[in-house]
A = this chain, B = another copy of it.
Amino acid sequence: MTTRTRAPDAGSLPLDQIIAGDCIDVMNALPECSVDLIFADPPYNLQLKGALHRPDNSEVDAVTDDWDQFASFAAYDRFTREWLAAARRILKPNGAIWVIGSYHNIFRVGASLQDAGYWILNDVVWRKSNPMPNFRGKRLTNAHETMIWASKAEGAKYTFNYEALKALNEGLQMRSDWVIPICTGHERLKNEKGDKAHPTQKPEALLHRVLLGTTNEGDVVLDPFFGTGTTGAVAKMLGRHYIGIEREADYRKVAEKRLAKVRKLDKSALEITTSKRAEPRVPFGQLVERGLLRPGEVLVNQRGQAAKVRVDGSLVSAEHRGSIHQVGALLEGAPSCNGWTYWQFKRDGQLIPIDILRQQIRTEMGKHG
């Protein structure tokens, strides 16, 4: 494995290498119809303004790198259309592309994909199990990113390993929403100073699922925004060839080092057993939203004390207000209380524990909560 310092001659394919340079120039120098899959994590164009502090006054280390700065939506669109066109030229007729983004850029990317002639197969939601909260309480926690999976054209015979993904999902068809933690801990690459080497390193689990599901062993996977090489690392591990393109020398250096350590897995090791998930948490408010309890309805405890359900899923008793757990604890003078087993509601003259309703919701959610 070596890093090339200039684009390769047309006709040859620089397998398992990182190529230095602008991805549009480099892709334009590669032979057409030669690549099986492209995975792209382009700049998101975040348009951040001032600094942001956590409630404890620490400062959030935001993405303020030059490569994420664009003068306007029009400039971002131009850039997007150019790299998407270059990518489409080098894709084999039955090749496919994945692009990941957030609400800042993904709508522009998706529209440009369609305009360029790609055919969208699915959009996939990466649901983060541990996202950064919204510290100021001004919006919803931005807890997901979106990936678009598209074939080169309508009617193309793209690769889809249906059974492999089904096995990965405990025998159930793989859905379009994937729960995966963000990249932290040992997996997160550090530079010499001990800081994160790249501000937006993606988890290997994400690429694992993408490559397992939409490429075959020996396929060529190209990543035009290679960064620290997650795509290459997972490709190598899974026995796929990779081609990385990266402008920044610092990122290339980290990626080279990373890739040198990766070994291809043997087939038996690729089969993973997934641990059984804990029962999904059901917020009490969902019973109200779903009409299982009416706002204004009265719950009672064992001693006959009553509390009224409010429209936001909080309770009000004669003296207290709060969650089902808080009001229960206050009525009992206890430090805590499991509201699910504490409260009952009335149906047809019968008192029924509200936990019955939670079980009902969990059944509906199946394994996908």
Point out residues on A near B: beta carbons under 8 Å: 53, 57, 73, 102-104, 106-111, 113-115, 120-125, 127, 129-131, 133-134, 137-144, 146, 148-149, 160, 162, 164-165, 167-177, 179-181, 187, 204-205, 208-209, 212, 238, 265-266, 268-273, 275, 281, 283-286, 288-291, 294-296, 308-314, 316, 323, 325, 332, 334-337, 364-366, 368-369
- Most-contacted residue by chain B among A53, A123, A149, A284 (CB, 10 A): A123
CA separation between A313 and B208, bound complex, in Å? 12
Which 6 A-B pairs rank lowest in CB-CB distance, beginning with the nearest? A107-B110, A168-B285, A269-B296, A269-B295, A143-B175, A103-B123
Chain B nearest CB, measured from A73 CB (Å): 6
Chain B nearest CB, measured from A170 CB (Å): 4
- Cross-interface CB contact of A162 among B137, B168, B271, B311, cutoff 8 Å: B137
Contacts of A167 in B (CB 8 A): 285, 312-314, 323
CB-nearest residue of chain B to A329: B57
Q: Is the CB of A173 within 8 A of B269?
A: no
Contacts of A275 in B (CB 8 A): 137
16 further A-B pairs in the complex, CB-CB below 8 A; given A57-B336, A143-B177, A269-B311: A103-B122, A104-B120, A106-B110, A127-B127, A129-B365, A137-B275, A180-B289, A180-B290, A208-B288, A265-B296, A268-B316, A271-B310, A271-B311, A272-B312, A273-B312, A273-B314
- Cross-interface CB contact of A141 among B129, B173, B281, cutoff 8 Å: B173
Contacts of A291 in B (CB 8 A): 187, 204-205
Identical chains in the assembly: 2
CB-nearest residue of chain B to A266: B296
Contacts of A111 in B (CB 8 A): 107-108, 110-111
CA separation between A272 and B310, bound complex, in Å? 7
Contacts of A115 in B (CB 8 A): 73
Q: Is the CB of A142 within 8 A of B176?
A: yes
- Contacts A/B (CB < 8 Å), 24 sampled: A57-B336, A73-B115, A106-B107, A107-B107, A107-B108, A108-B111, A111-B111, A124-B140, A125-B125, A129-B364, A129-B368, A131-B175, A140-B176, A144-B176, A167-B285, A169-B283, A170-B323, A179-B368, A265-B295, A265-B311, A268-B296, A268-B310, A269-B296, A269-B308
- Most-contacted residue by chain B among A53, A272, A368 (CB, 10 A): A368
Q: Is the CB of A312 within 8 A of B212?
A: yes
Contacts of A311 in B (CB 8 A): 212, 238, 265, 269-272
CA separation between A138 and B359, bound complex, in Å? 24
Contacts of A366 in B (CB 8 A): 129-130
